[in-house]
Structure 1
Amino acid sequence: MARNASAEIRRRPKDRKAQIARAAAEAFSEQGYHGVSMEAIAARVGVSAAALYRHYAGKYELFRGAVLGLGRQLVDGTADLNITDDEDPRQQFDALVGALVDVALANRTSGGLYRWEGRYLDDADQAELLAQIGTVHDRIHRPLARLRPGLTRRQYLTLSTAVLSVVGSIVDHRAKLPAATARELLIELAGAVAAVELPGEPVPAEPAVASRAPAPDPSTYEALLRESLTLFHRHGYRDTSMEDIAAAVGIPASGIYKYFSGKGDILAAVFRRASDRVSGELATVVASAADPHEALSGVIDSYVARTFDQPELEYVYYTERLNMSAADQRIVHDLQRSVVESWVELVVAVRPQWSPAQARFAVHAAMALVIDLGRLQRYPDAAQARAVVNRLVKAVLLGDYRLRATFTPM
């Protein structure tokens, strides 16, 4: 027995802890923090759950290590670029973006964890993650300050957020491109958003603004959709009970089951309804446009306006979609893909130098910009804030958008 035990120890890989960390990051990214167990992670690695505890105290420690490990890779990946004031700032910018893209590509199957699941970190770990991302922002600002002198700190933050959004968008989809082509395209798109002439200083969000009270809705079904979305956004899907939803609508909890089988059914209905409306608006805009350029511009205007009018929707989609059943996830995914493909057709017509695959990457980058910049702006109900997001999205998809700034070295 002793000899067998010794052989087992010798066979244990030296990088076992790293294997566990990679498996945990992928599992949390695919299934969400609450959807993953120690047993599930162990199964991915091919060990027992008890073996995990030799390396990690519990699920949260694995989760913390996965999220902060991704942030650390962004910091380390840009640490050795030696950004100085005596080199071409455009080359520095491209090298910096390229390094960030390399990290994103290497972690494509787990990067969603950093983008959408970091909210489950405790306060101290949240602060560490924010410090990591702040370091990356500061590194982007250095070449930007030379390329775009005279902007405010807030404007530099807007542009660096846009750059990180473009890079990070590749973890939100599974569209395919050769790595070299994807890298080149994302550097191009990051340069496009960094060159946008921002329409004045964005209006800061009002502190603790109460949600706009919707008009009374005679339909209980519609009220359930609306109030559920608000609660999922405010408290999270798992921390919202059927009783909470019923109270918000003003009915007993048992009354919900006349319309929905449970929370997951409500969530799926919200997304299906939203996809139908986006699809309908898209068809209307395209039908009334004179050419693909006008159609794409109108589609962007409509999409940005809808997102600002209902900011909860996109955020809840990315953060809570894993709580739907597998069948509902497939349905909603197919609806979303249909919308994306409609955009892709317009983009290819406007940018014929791009293949449909390249256009698909650009469309996902544009959609990521809407939610990431909207969150930065905190969706104030101001035309100025919408204009910031609108211009950045158009820079990505239209390319020759007339309000772009000249992005040349100083």
Structure 2
Amino acid sequence: MSSVRRRPRNRKAQIARAAAEAFGESGYHAVSMDDIATRVGISAAALYRHAAGKYQLFRDAVLALGTQLQDCTAFVEEPPNPLEPAQLRDQILTALIDTALANRSSGGLYRRQARYLVDDDHVLLMDQLKSVNRRIQVPLRELRPGLAAPQRWTLSAAALSVIGSVADHHAQLGHPQLRELLLGRAATVLNAELPQGVSREAVVSAAEVSAGRYEDVLRQSLILFHRRGYHQTSVEDIAGAVGMPASGIYRYFSGKADILAASFRRAADRVSADVANTLAAESDPGQALDRLIEAYIARSFENPELAHVYHTERINLPPADDKVLRNIQRATVEAWAQLLTAVRPQFGVAEARIVVHAGFAVVVDIGRLVGFEDAGGAPQSRAWVRTLMTATLLGGDVAEEPADTAGVSVDLSA
């Protein structure tokens, strides 16, 4: 008598997990229904019995992450809460950290690929994230009653960025150590005092010199990749933005992927050069790290499209180019980590790597929130991002009497 194969009871969960991991690793456009089916061990035809198509699986994966963040912090709205504000803050952050670590392979979806959600679904995700931010702000209101709404939103978003940064890299640390490290960095960020009254003269510039059509192609392609997405941008689109025929693009690049790789390699080389130049000019680790922070933020604000595209479209690089880029980035992170351990001996090198990645994530995420693209970056916004990156890396003082928030380009409700 032949045995009857039964569908596993957890098939739906298997599919959801496989889809989230596939999209997290390769991006929405690079994943097919066949890819997801293979991960589950079923045919594509069988997969279609569970989902109408790839977009449904992607939508469900992204919104499931948002739901998990909501669920793990739901206790904040269940009165009465007997915890002191600092205890409640740490409990919220710990719950979010545990959720991020449980979804490390797919956690970048809601942070880096939300642009591929259709309008209503994107609004739903934003509502999920706003509710999580509001819950972080419950103890923050008690601990720092002088904060205005833009400050609270910026600080809670920065804490989420620190926590979510674990999905951006593969640096390893024991779970208990990683949990404690992220808790300490996120809590420190919530204590950061955001500066006011920053003059434009205080802003450091990292302006680049144009070198003709080649640079124009790189620049316009990044703007289009940022606005439309890599897969929605064609070589013809780039050529039109530059003002040349599509055939002219191929005088400089073999194709769209080559343009993306050249842009990323250029950015990585410049950040790497900042490290080399700084270490050659400055022997004091604290001063060197301070100069690197200034340079990193200057480059990010003066090239906002690159800062965004680097984090959202890197998965589209050809494997050989991605390997080169990873090696450059790894060397850069290592140099930052060595400086950080010299300035903060309580961090081991493995811990410092995690912290450096968190600092980089804060620059991208909060730069976009407070005005990454405001006419080259409003000085006040840049000062906020600098403060938050410094707090992430080095710690910060508790703000006893925060000043007002005039002039900061954050449009969020109280």
User: Which range moved further: 277-286 or 381-390?
Assistant: 277-286
1:287 aligns with 2:299: no
8 A contact 1:21–1:62 mirrored in 2: yes
1:260 aligns with 2:256: no
Q: Deviations for 1:145-204, whole angstroms, at most 9, x for unmatched residues?
A: 01111211111000000000000000000100111111100010011111111113999x
**Aligned equivalents of 1:367 and 1:393: distance in 2?**
7
8 A contact 1:177–1:357 mirrored in 2: yes
Deviation at 1:228, TM superposition (A): 1.0
Q: Pairwise mapping of residues 348-367 of structure 1 onto structure 2 (< 5 A)?
A: 348-367=341-360
Deviation at 1:252, TM superposition (A): 1.2
Cα separation, partners in 2 of 1:165 and 1:382, compared to 1, 3 Å? same
Paired letter, 2:127: A
Aligned match of 2:155: 159
Return the match for 1:177 from 169, 173, 177. Answer: 173
Return the match for 2:24 from 20, 29, 54. Answer: 29
Paired letter, 2:269: D
8 A contact 2:188–2:392 mirrored in 1: yes
Cα separation, partners in 2 of 1:201 and 1:163, compared to 1, 3 Å? farther
**Aligned equivalents of 2:264 and 2:361: distance in 1?**
17
Q: Deviations for 1:352-399, whole angstroms, at most 9, x for unmatched residues?
A: 111111001100100000000001012122211111010111112122
Deviation at 1:404, TM superposition (A): 4.7
**Aligned equivalents of 2:303 and 2:344: distance in 1?**
30
Aligned match of 1:122: 118
Return the match for 1:72 from 67, 75, 94. Answer: 67
1:219 aligns with 2:212: yes
Aligned match of 2:399: 405
User: Which range moved further: 362-371 or 318-327?
Assistant: 318-327
Deviation at 1:234, TM superposition (A): 1.5
- 1:391 partner SS: helix
Deviation at 1:236, TM superposition (A): 1.1
**Aligned equivalents of 2:145 and 2:250: distance in 1?**
58
Cα separation, partners in 2 of 1:202 and 1:149, compared to 1, 3 Å? farther
8 A contact 2:144–2:399 mirrored in 1: no
RMSD: 2.0
Instruction: Give TM-score scaled by structure 1 length.
Output: 0.91
**Aligned equivalents of 2:211 and 2:364: distance in 1?**
30
Structure 2 alignment gaps of length 5 or more? 200-206, 402-414
**Aligned equivalents of 1:218 and 1:110: distance in 2?**
39
Q: Deviations for 1:185-227, whole angstroms, at most 9, x for unmatched residues?
A: 0010011111111113999xxxxxxxxxx99945221221111
Deviation at 1:337, TM superposition (A): 1.2
Q: Pairwise mapping of residues 131-210 of structure 1 onto structure 2 (< 5 A)?
A: 131-200=127-196
**Aligned equivalents of 1:275 and 1:311: distance in 2?**
15
**Aligned equivalents of 1:140 and 1:284: distance in 2?**
40
Aligned match of 2:382: 386
Deviation at 1:243, TM superposition (A): 1.0
Instruction: Give TM-score scaled by structure 2 length.
Output: 0.90
Deviation at 1:289, TM superposition (A): 2.2
Q: Deviations for 1:291-341, whole angstroms, at most 9, x for unmatched residues?
A: 101111110011011101111112101111111111111111111111111
1:111 aligns with 2:121: no
8 A contact 1:347–1:397 mirrored in 2: yes
Cα separation, partners in 2 of 1:85 and 1:384, compared to 1, 3 Å? farther
8 A contact 1:202–1:388 mirrored in 2: no
Aligned match of 1:371: 364
8 A contact 2:198–2:383 mirrored in 1: no
Aligned match of 2:230: 237
Aligned match of 1:208: none
1:307 aligns with 2:305: no
**Aligned equivalents of 1:396 and 1:217: distance in 2?**
34
**Aligned equivalents of 2:291 and 2:209: distance in 1?**
30
**Aligned equivalents of 1:178 and 1:83: distance in 2?**
34
8 A contact 2:140–2:152 mirrored in 1: yes
- 1:111 partner SS: coil
**Aligned equivalents of 2:25 and 2:278: distance in 1?**
35
- 2:385 partner SS: helix
- 1:258 partner SS: coil
Structure 1 alignment gaps of length 5 or more? 204-213
Aligned match of 2:406: none
Deviation at 1:287, TM superposition (A): 2.3
Aligned match of 1:102: 98
8 A contact 2:144–2:400 mirrored in 1: no
**Aligned equivalents of 2:168 and 2:124: distance in 1?**
23
Aligned match of 1:49: 44
Cα separation, partners in 2 of 1:84 and 1:145, compared to 1, 3 Å? farther
Deviation at 1:288, TM superposition (A): 2.2
Cα separation, partners in 2 of 1:113 and 1:284, compared to 1, 3 Å? same
- 2:75 partner SS: coil
User: Which range moved further: 265-274 or 331-340?
Assistant: 331-340
Q: Deviations for 1:112-163, whole angstroms, at most 9, x for unmatched residues?
A: 1121111111111111111111110110010000111121111100000000
**Aligned equivalents of 1:121 and 1:192: distance in 2?**
33
Cα separation, partners in 2 of 1:14 and 1:229, compared to 1, 3 Å? same
**Aligned equivalents of 1:195 and 1:123: distance in 2?**
35
Deviation at 1:290, TM superposition (A): 4.3
Deviation at 1:285, TM superposition (A): 2.0
- How many residue pairs were aligned? 390
Aligned match of 1:324: 317
**Aligned equivalents of 1:262 and 1:310: distance in 2?**
22
